[in-house]
Amino acid sequence: MNQLKKRKMAEYGTFGDYYFQKFNTSFALMAILPFLGFLYLITQRGDSINSLEGQTGLVFVILLAISLIGYFATYWIIHRLIEQLIRYANALKQVDSLKSIFVSNVSHEVKNPLGTLKMSLENLNENIVGELNPKQRDLVQTCQRTVNRLIRLSTDLLDLAKIESGKMTVNEEEVHLNNLIDEVTSQLTAKVKEKNLVFQKTLPKSEIRMIGDQDHMFRVVFNLLDNAVKYTPENNQLGISLAEEGEKVKIDIWNHGNPISPAEKDKLFERFDRITADHKTGSGLGLPIVKELIGLHEGRIDVESDATTNHFVVQLPKDFRSLRRAKSEKQIF
């Protein structure tokens, strides 16, 4: 019996074993009720038993036998169905795991030579190996942009694989959000000026801090603000605001542009999906990664849109550690 149980555990996993236990308990309770009713008739209602003599009793026995056959047949069918569903779920889980490993390995193998190629192109562009004529420089710069896009794509794929496998680490450090937002906006100043955009930054005078991963938070704010710049029409407005709400912080990144429909909101955080037909550069993984990184900090992101303005609102706890502990304890029990 122990060997059989071990084999089942290996085949179905902890989740499958737990599910089967609940299923067996439920059916056991269903089976007990008719027998309790029959026991009641025997012990408390003897006159009812006397009425089951002869042909009536034969009909009762036949119906009881049919009910028992139906009960055990239903049990067998549902049990087999659950077995198949768990097998399929485990198979899909294994395929997804293999896919993540494959993507991670390929991305890693591609990223290394791309780094070498990037360095070589930079040397060419800086005339280290000789002076370039204008046509050659244009060609080198085009190659540089393409290589940079491929490096970003491989980095995004590696990060997604880490998140899916649960290997993405989250450092617990004090993040100064005012300074972080200042740093992000300074890196995007050139893009804002290029499109002649009016940029509004609303930060509180007092420093707002949270416990989290500095690099992850920088990436969240940078990706969202970079997207806002990218999708804001020229000569228009966008901005970012930071506020403190109790034990949470709120970051609102907004822009004036085409409104986002409810159907498009559902697709925003899907991988490799885009909501516009514009040929914008990027991997289509920025927003999905942003959502995952926010989730790792026990936060959330909401999208609000009206006729003129789109808002990406990020809400994060000041200290995600207590929420994570509570979540882990809930999963255990």
Assigned domain for 19 exists: no
Please provide the average confidence, as pLDDT, over all residues in the chain: 78
* Domain extent at residue 244: 173-325
> Average of pLDDT values for 293-311?
91
Assigned domain for 156 exists: no
Assigned domain for 244 exists: yes
pLDDT value, residue 333: 47
Q: Where are the alpha helices (DSSP H) in 165-203?
A: 177-187, 189-194
Q: Is the pLDDT of residue 197 over 60?
A: yes
Assigned domain for 202 exists: yes
- 10 Å Cβ neighbour count for 193? 10
Six token digits for residue 226: 């970079």
C-alpha distances in Å from residue 176, one per residue of 46, 207, 245: 80, 7, 16
Assigned domain for 213 exists: yes
Judge contact between 209 and 172, C-beta under 8 A.
no
C-alpha distances in Å from residue 319, one per residue of 123, 262, 302: 45, 32, 20
pLDDT value, residue 220: 94
Write the CATH number for 249. 3.30.565.10
Q: How confident is the model at residue 183 (pLDDT cuts 50, 70, 90)?
A: very high
Q: What's the number of domains the chain is made of? A: 1
Q: What is the per-residue pLDDT across 27-68, written as a single tens digit (0 to 9) for each?
A: 665 556 566 665 555 555 455 555 555 555 565 566 667 666
pLDDT value, residue 5: 46
Assigned domain for 256 exists: yes
- The rounded distance, in Å, linking the Cα atoms of 280 and 308 is 21
Assigned domain for 121 exists: no
pLDDT value, residue 186: 94
pLDDT value, residue 60: 59
Q: Is the pLDDT of residue 196 over 60?
A: yes
pTM beyond cutoff 0.85:
no
